[in-house]
């Protein structure tokens, strides 16, 4: 049975294992540790206590931001990223966010498609934002307007 539940710092070794396997430029242990403050909401998708994927979100004032979403390489293509993204959106709405924001590599077409499928729209570009094998790569900024929760 799959369950989405809050992450804790004790999950960092499993987070690092998924992150380093799935990303060419992974987050470090220090970055993960820095994202466990009160303004963050971080959840993992577990099956039988094994972490399959996760996301890190932040809520400030009236906006939420998706900092990282990742699914284990051997679990990709099974809809888990969509489940995590839907959960992030629901958590943003529960916090009465009016918008959800994210940045994605311009070359990550599968992620862009997933975000668009969930209603995110392109809102701008950060030129040369990410490191890449050929130097630097643009970040596409995407926004999802949310219902105003009363």
Q: Looking at the 3D structure of the chain, how many domains does it have?
A: 1
150 found inside a domain: no
Supply the CATH number for residue 84's domain: 3.40.630.30
84 found inside a domain: yes
Q: Residue 87's domain spans which residues? A: 2-145
Report the pLDDT value the prediction gives residue 148, as an integer from 0 to 100. Answer: 57
127 found inside a domain: yes
10 found inside a domain: yes
Q: What are the E-state strand segments in the chain?
A: 2-6, 40-47, 50-60, 63-71, 99-105, 121-132, 135-145
Q: Which residues are catalytic?
A: 103, 115
pLDDT in tens, 45-95: 999 999 999 999 999 989 999 999 999 999 999 999 999 999 999 999 999
115 found inside a domain: yes
pTM here is: 0.93
């Amino acid at each position: 049975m799959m369950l989405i539940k809050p992450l804790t710092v004790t999950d960092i070794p499993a987070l690092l294992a998924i992150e380093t396997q799935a990303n060419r430029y992974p987050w470090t242990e220090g970055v993960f540790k820095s994202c466990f403050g009160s303004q963050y909401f971080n959840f993992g998708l577990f099956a039988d206590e094994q972490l399959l994927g996760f996301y890190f979100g932040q809520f400030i004032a009236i906006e939420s931001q998706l900092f990282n979403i990742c699914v284990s390489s051997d679990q990709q293509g099974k809809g888990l990223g969509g489940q995590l993204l839907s959960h992030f959106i629901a958590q943003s709405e529960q916090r009465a966010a009016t918008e959800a924001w994210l940045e994605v590599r311009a070359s990550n077409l599968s992620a862009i498609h997933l975000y668009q499928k969930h209603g995110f729209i392109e809102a701008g570009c950060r030129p040369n934002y990410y490191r890449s094998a050929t130097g630097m790569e643009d970040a596409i900024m995407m926004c999802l307007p949310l219902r105003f929760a009363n």
